[in-house]
Structure 1
Amino acid sequence: MKFRGTEEEAKEQKTILEEELKVNIVTSIRNEQIKWHNPTFMIKKVNGKWRKILDAKTLNKQIADFHFKMYESNEVEQTIRFGDWGTQLDLSLAFHHLIVQTESQPYLAFEFQNNYYTYRAIPFGTKHSPIYLATAMEQIMQQIRLKTEIRIINYVDDILLLHQNKEYLKNMTQKERDRTESNSNISRMGMESNKCNSQNETEEAFTSPTRFIQYEKMDIDGDRDNKASFFLNIKDHQKAQAARLRGWNTTMIMNKTAIPDINWWVTKLRKNIPAQLIYIPLQMTMTTDAAPSRWGSTLEKELEMIAMAHGTWNKRQTKLTSNNREIKAITQGLRKFTKTLKNSRVQSLVIRSDKNTTVFDIRKWRASILLINEIKQIHQTIEKLGIQIQITHLPGIKNEIAEAISRLQRAGEYKLKEKIFQQTCLQMNLNPTIDLFSQHFNNLLPRFMLTIRGHGEIAIDALNQTWKMELPWIHPPIPLIPAVLKKIREEQIEAMIITPLWPGQIWNTELVNENAQSLMLGRSNEILEPGTSLIMKNLKLPPGKIRSFLMDRRPGREEDSRVRFREYQTYPREQQT
């Protein structure tokens, strides 16, 4: 495959090739010895220098995959401590210092100006080049960790040396630099000293220790590299399409869909908002779940639920993939809890999801083109809140509450256990006269009203019937609770109402703050009896604790109710603990 490039690129490739031949990175080969032909191309680096790339795209498809754990940017961040001095050693042309086995070299061949060459060293472009380098470097660094107090970590082709004492680090850096350069396994690593600016002064070179964590925040957003790769996904996707259709050496017109991402990146660079480097202990936990028709989310602090939110998907959203719905559920949860997080001055939040793919996409800033905007909304919301997040996977079997909310029943196809019902009436000294919102198979009183026509009911559609002259027992479907409270206020009656204890819901606030009596009945899975239909449809009981309230809105009783409630309210609170 002949070289295809401009005259300038051909000239630069010739210069680089001569240097590679001189230092034995590349060697000549006869055409009949070649087992695989690879094209080459040139790219210009940020500093204006050129790099020759072996286009091993086709060859990489034939190379076997294997798993190898490399250090990631978040692990580097976790290694750094407040007050550290750091030295960065940049390995120039690092991959080229690893020698390829002789029998594999004919697969790395290329043609230039009617001559044939092959790589004797590992080139840029092959699938496992970073892995081989990291493997080789790890042996050296293990020795450094054993013999010095320096914390050392390699990130791709950079070596970071960290220590709290500047002079110690400075002395040890030169020793380790000399040791690395003279190592027999990777000879002439080609250390380069790159000038950089620290927060306080300009060092002569970064091989002199630089205090890059003197304050709690860094001058440069430590998370920005991840964000860049994520927000420029659309642009990179278009570039890959252009390269595939018209080759590497081509110009392209950027699609308008990429413009917002480019503008975002420019804005972020101009703002240069410092990122929090010091780890803040986790203060709250948000757990989410998404079902085909609904979503649910809970907010907890020190294992105590402080808020709960849920909603339904519209017709378009019900057709989305499960991963898309899970991501949307996280966005909805963050938005619903924004006020609570701000009022509580939360700086660090755990987000838990029971879908592995969702956790990976958000944690790694990676997603398909279709999901980019969804994940972008999550991170924009987090930025506005100014909080750190940690997203983790929660096995579905442990995600009971959020899952129950997302798969919540709507028809009331369950009932309070008969024994619990009798104990509640006895303890609250009340005798309800009619059971509202029940079915003929789960009514607790002889007189009852249905939501649909059945057998033996007094009436159907309880909300459109009068409740006066009754002391109703009301255990409504969750979505109907606000309508039930409104009905009680309008008819000015006394009623017993059974609801889950869900902090953060408007109806829960009204029930807790404005009622005469309340009684904690217990956890839903212990006191509720699910109906056959609920089990067959894989719907869930309302999660958490269930509470009984006596609402008294009869004329002249409201003030008395408030006084009695203030005297009585210590009992329910004791029940919660």
Structure 2
Amino acid sequence: MTGWGAHLADQTASGLWDLSLAPQHINMLELEAVSLGLRAFLPLLGGSHVQVHTDNTTVAAYINRQGGTRSQKLSESACRLLVWCSSHNILLSAKYLKGTLNVLADALSRGDKVLHSEWTLSHQALDRLWVQVDKPCIDLFATRFSTRLPLFVSPFPDPLAWAVNALDLDWTNLQAYAFPPFCLLGKVVRKVDLEKPALVLVAPLWPSQHWYPDLLRLAVRPPIPLGVRRGDLLQPRSGVPHENPQALQLHGWILSESLCVVPGPRPQL
């Protein structure tokens, strides 16, 4: 409810809401964000078919159906937007994009708010890991701002990304690094078990979690403590550090025998 954000290729636009818009329903604000984004990028869009990706299903439907029957106000606003697009020779359509994949626009709209899916480790913290294992070249869960390796897989479409949505990729025989949001760790561990990539995973030492026994079973050596201190875990765009990174007990987990590692015993359940 603070502001709006949009991106097109490597261009971004954002702003705070006018106070007169603050009481509006969230659907109206989402549609207004689409309108402001299109206007911001107008010099790049004239004469084009533009597909807007939005994490609001209602707004996507009202754009694609050229209005709707549930909200007269929203329908009128959608029609005004489509008329504006037509006047600039823009053919507009919309596609729903899950909020978890809408990371950059979300960050732009929230200003200095902390995004829990956007923590990244400093290069200094990762150097403690790379001295013990070969550094891969692909960062599976990153944006152009948070990546720590030459290639990265973005959660949203990005022309700079090697691929989009890591969980949709086939990880078989892939050599990569992953520091996923903690809420995805269960899916990541299951995918490693099924597809057997050569993966360096950063995850907490949390024995009470349901995925922890499987993670221990997949590890080829004891987890490597990263000794993360304040300033080592931060938000990539704002540089805001995590308040208590030591409490997360972040470790590096080596999940393949094919990775070159310092010899050590296998972890025990």
With structure 1 as the length reference, what TM-score do the two structures score? 0.24
| Structure showing greater Rg | 1
Higher-helix-fraction structure: 1
With structure 2 as the length reference, what TM-score do the two structures score? 0.48
Q: Which has the higher contact order (CA 8 A, sep 6+)?
A: 2
